[in-house]
Chain A
Amino acid sequence: MGEHPASPNGPVTATVTAKVPENLPVPENMFATIGGATTRLRTAARRFSRRALAPRLRDEAWRGQALSLAAALGLMVFMVRVLAAGWPKRFAIFFPDSFSFIHAAKLTPFSPAFYAAERPIAFPTVLFLLGRSTLVTVVVQTFLYGLVYLLAATTVFTVLRQRETRIMIALLVLSIGIEPRFALWTTHILSESLGMTLAVASVLAWWWFSAQPGRRRLHLAGIATIAWLTVRDSNVPPWLAVGVPALLIASFWWRSADRDLRRAMRIWGVVTLVVCVGVTLTQSANGRNRYATINNVGSRVLPDHEITKWFADQGMPVDDALLERTGSNSFNDNWDMLTSPDLTTFRSWAGSSGQRVMLESYARFAPHWINQLYGDLPILLRADQSSYDAFTVAKRLPDAAPAQINGPTTRKGLLIWTVLAVAGLVLAAKRGRGAQASVLGLLLASTFVDLYMAYVGDSVEVQRHMVGPLSRMALVMVLCLGVGADSLVESIRVRRVASRDIDAEHVEFVDVVEPDLDEVHG
């Protein structure tokens, strides 16, 4: 470099010099030409950036449009990765449960039987609307699933205020959506995918409402919640335990809210309560819960002497034939518990009062079930659902996010995430986002109820039943963290601005009192 001190492009010139063989005639102005061209290119790039890129990036409308286009393309890529490898011949139904949805859809919403069929109405309605086509249903539910996560990212950008937290939380939310253990359910004719989709929609709607409470947003949240409640009957208990009381209590005690809003909350509390009761009654009426009762008795009640005794006291017919099935469920021994003649009395009990007794036991023996859940948590949290991945979706989506950054997959991770979420809520509450903190706190509480009910509800296919609660829990926890982090960043930023203003005022004051000494001495 030292040989070309006059060159304005020292490093480039030096590199070129080193490569040129000595015997080649080199025009004297060659280096200058290369240097000049490089400079011109750099200038042109800068000019392009200044004139074309920068103004557009500053323009919020342009940014929004660009992000919309990116989102559309992202959704397309997601759908292609999930679906196209099996397109269009595959996606055959092979889960027995899928047929019960198809049967329900066959009844059509015009028949009263449809509303008391073996499945809650939301997914059969979707199947009915899509002509019970497996392929179309798979495409539509994958589209809706992807769309709702894009909506989630958009909501994050709308509700959160700081750029850093917006980007971070939006990415985390999207990373939940593309996790194979959740996304793979879009390829099955089961209610899991729609359940997760509507769960996200409902959580987002309530969060959106809490950010700026109003009747329009409340109506939207109410509708989303009803849709979510009618997709899986296991969604009812968490809402019944948390959502309904919260709405009713807030409608009376939330003094700062206007009267119309409180009235609307009361109405939605009652409406959702009615929906919960409706779902519970219709599902009880069709007797589908007897399978869960039989499974639970076989694999969870009978192995515990004390609980068995309590069940017997509540009317469960305990005899040698039943005790022989200790540890079994309805799937075992070629559906033995569902068909064996020596269990006729037991099955009759399970089809009637047994379901109520089982429900009572969830409260009566809650500590016992929670202990069992605690023991099984490691397996349940880390389940990748690969046994359900019939269409190898996991191979085509990115692996789960590392270090549990988008939700817990271990018991310790669950503890840490819970602490982080609660801390986020406390921070948010302290920084003037009380409504958000309250609503997200309630949603967080409901996720634990959801987790508990999904676990105790049926002892068979527990991992599958956990999919919805776990995806909802991950989303709510990330949002709690996001609100807290956003509040924190905002407060830091406000403090900095405030201190800078104070400094500026101080300098101004000094300038006024003590004129520039340099000027005086100069």
Chain B
Amino acid sequence: MTVTRGWRRLCLLATVFLVGAMVVAAFFHNEFRSQNWDPMQTRVYVDRTIRFGGTFYENGLVNKGPLEPFVYRLAAAVTSWDGFWYAISAIVLVVSGVLGWAANRTTQFFGGHRMLGIAVGIGVFYHFALGNADYAGVLYSRNMIIGLYAGAWLIGLSPRWWLPGRARWAAVAVGVLLGLGIQTLFVGTIAAIGVGLLALSSIDTVDDDDEYRASRRLLVITPIAVFLLAPVYYAIRGRFDEFWSSYWTYNVYQNVATGRSFANQLVYGRDVALRYYRAWPVSFVIVIAFVAITLGLWRAMSRRERCTHLALTVWFVGAWAELVVGQRYSTHYFSILALPTALMAASVVGHMYRLIAAQRGDFRSAVAWPLVAALLAVAAGGGGHFTLGLEAASSYSSVHQTAVERAATQPGTQRTVRAILDLVSRPDDPLLVWTEFPWEYLQFHRVAATRWIWKSFMLGQIYLGRSSPDYVLPTTWQWFADDMAESKPAAFLEETALPLTGGTPFSAYVQHDFEQAYAGTDYNVYLRTDAAGEMLRGDPGTTLTPSRPAGSASKWTVGRGTATLAASSPSLTDVLALSNTLCTRISGTYASTPGVGGSFLSFRFDAADPTVPNMRLNIADRQIFSGDDAAVFDTTYLDEPDAIDSTADTALGPDDTVLAPDAETPLPDRTVITAPATADTSAPDAAVGSNDTGAADVATHHFALVIGKDSAALVIDGAIHAAVRITEQTKVSLEVRAGGVQLGDLRQGSPPPNSGCG
């Protein structure tokens, strides 16, 4: 092997190594990164479509063409619930690859060396897959559109597609891609015309007159036909109203709700453009260089090159026009501008190379350029996402394992809500939420009960615009009623930060059909009246006589439906066995007998595997909290929390992390728990708490421990106060960690019917 050949191979392999690492990093990191606002919204719509059937427009307010939900539907079809975002990440990779390829071909088209083209392509790929821009690593509709346009651009650039016999097909392919883009966002039409111009110039190379004319006709007709396909399809399906309301009427609302005149829109656009180029001066330099080269070399360029320059210019102007007319400048939207700018850069690089190479000949170092470009891309583009991606790739073991690890870091308030929901409904069942966020459905593994997944749709609040009842679609409440009749949600979730607005059919429906079951710090959970009855009041069943695993050594006094433990004899091992199985409901009364360390009852869910932590629902005087052996998840109080001195014994760690009582282990969330003065904190499972209210709670309370297949909830005095998800635990017992207790009227009945036990 000669030195040159060895050097070439080394460069090639190093490039493959680095670009391979980029691909791997992008795939694993974008699985997380792509879980962005709009993508989650689309997923919620798609999940709803899968659950209830019908068109996308019957399952959500989709104010774009059907391509975006269709792509997401495809991703759902080929993956599991937990693996969904991996499919989206793979599509992000494909789109980024197409964009990089388009940049590569553009550089070569204008005379750039093949290696230079690849180098530019790598840079563009990195920018869109792992760059710092907000539009990188996500799959918004605009990312899809630029992917489609880049595909059409590639076809337009390739001479092979326009050979005799193929030109018609090429024209159709370009037309379909452009048509889908326009259909997805109508404001992207000018950009599509720019891309179409390149294809038109390619048709000029066709010698056969018939083929030439047919290709031109097809290039014009196909996008129009594709664009019209959507309304025609929905009209045929009898769902034109749903389509039109979302696709047209709501977009009109969005347009007028900003309250800007056309002139004002232009002025606003100018201001944004100035700000944009101040923030991204490199883009500005690229545009100026492109314009300068266009003017300077215009006479020297071939007709096809001129057309390509013209096409890029129109595309670029079209992208700005799209932003200006859309009147919204979210950072994610700028992808439509970034691609034509990147292609301008590619063309500038191609021209420059051709000019230089004409003077000095080829460069021997060309083989290293892709490697240099890859290194520069990582260095200049910021390696943050790249590093995170590699980290994710390194730690990845399976989709399921990743889901388990994420569930383990879920905040306590979400754990509680999920546990409650699992007692009255199953995953993928409908959930009614008054929210402004798409993730509320996804984090609880539920589908939206109504197509109006956000309250803004029902209140006429327009994104980056004004609010008015005029912006509520006329059929909103009729379709809401239809949705409720169809979905019959078992639960309604209210965010405490966004309380339910009264005076709407939505609030009337909730007030009429639901009963509040849980009041937490972040969420309130309401259950459908029948589900609430089964959950909160349920069938008490037969009298329960608990057993004592410690036998005669036990300090418990057990009778028929009763059990008592004196305050002086709490023990971590002398527990009261309540049930050897899940799927049950244990109810009765309890009265704590506070000891020196107060009162602390812990309903413990044991796993057969000793390495799996026990789950717990705890009562420490008036403080009710869920957790496991080592951490507290979520807390509520029987009395008002403001009666509690919640700072007395709480240790705060770095960043105000609340520490466990042994002040060593940070708790997983910021639930403030106070440590009992004399609790046994030396035990490994010492995540205990106590209120310091002074007066201990010695009242007799009614309680019910409702245990389903996947979770359990503690109902006290008719309301859920704590709930916990069960993983591998199978047994239920009561452990008294401080003080004593008197249990009475103990009964064992059936769990709620939809708790997964059927």
Contacts and interface: CB of A to CB of B under 8 A. Distances in A.
B378 to A, nearest CB: 13
Given A72-B16, A72-B20, A80-B21, 18 more contacts: A68-B9, A68-B12, A69-B12, A73-B20, A75-B17, A76-B18, A77-B20, A80-B390, A80-B393, A81-B393, A84-B390, A85-B395, A86-B394, A87-B387, A87-B394, A88-B387, A396-B394, A396-B397
A216 interface: no
Contacts of B397: 395-396
24 contacts: A68-B9, A69-B12, A69-B13, A69-B16, A72-B13, A73-B16, A73-B20, A75-B17, A76-B21, A77-B24, A80-B21, A80-B24, A80-B394, A81-B394, A83-B394, A84-B387, A84-B395, A85-B391, A85-B394, A85-B395, A86-B394, A87-B390, A88-B387, A396-B395
A380 to B, nearest CB: 28
A396 B401 CA distance: 13
A286 B62 CA distance: 77
Contacts, number: 51
Nearest to B383: A88
A87 B391 contact: yes
Nearest to B13: A72
A88 B386 CA distance: 12
B17 A73 contact: yes
Contacts of B394: 80-87, 396
A214 B754 CA distance: 79
A16 B505 CA distance: 48
Contacts of A395: 397
A82 to B, nearest CB: 8
B691 to A, nearest CB: 40
Interface residues of A, number: 19
A396 B393 CA distance: 10
A69 B23 CA distance: 15
A68 B394 CA distance: 23
A81 B16 CA distance: 17
B393 A84 contact: yes
B21 to A, nearest CB: 5
Contacts of B13: 68-69, 71-72
A75 B14 CA distance: 11
Interface string B8-33: 01001110111011001000000000
A85 B394 CA distance: 5
Nearest to A64: B9
A88 B384 CA distance: 11
Nearest to A69: B16
A82 B390 CA distance: 11
B367 to A, nearest CB: 14
Contacts of B17: 72-73, 75-76
Contacts of B387: 84, 87-88
Contacts of B18: 76
Contacts of A76: 17-18, 20-21, 24
Nearest to B16: A72
Nearest to A70: B16
Contacts of A83: 394
A81 B394 CA distance: 4
B389 to A, nearest CB: 8
A80 B391 CA distance: 8
Interface in A205-254: none
A87 B389 CA distance: 11
Question: Which of B13, B394, B395 is packed against the most chain A CB atoms within 10 Å?
Answer: B394
Contacts of A77: 20, 24
B401 to A, nearest CB: 10
A73 B17 CA distance: 6
Contacts of A75: 17
A400 to B, nearest CB: 17
Contacts of A73: 16-17, 20
Q: 9 nearest interchain CB pairs?
A: A84-B394, A84-B390, A85-B394, A72-B13, A72-B16, A85-B395, A73-B20, A72-B17, A76-B20
Contacts of A85: 391, 394-395
Interface string A312-340: 00000000000000000000000000000
Contacts of A88: 387
Interface in B62-100: none
Nearest to B24: A80
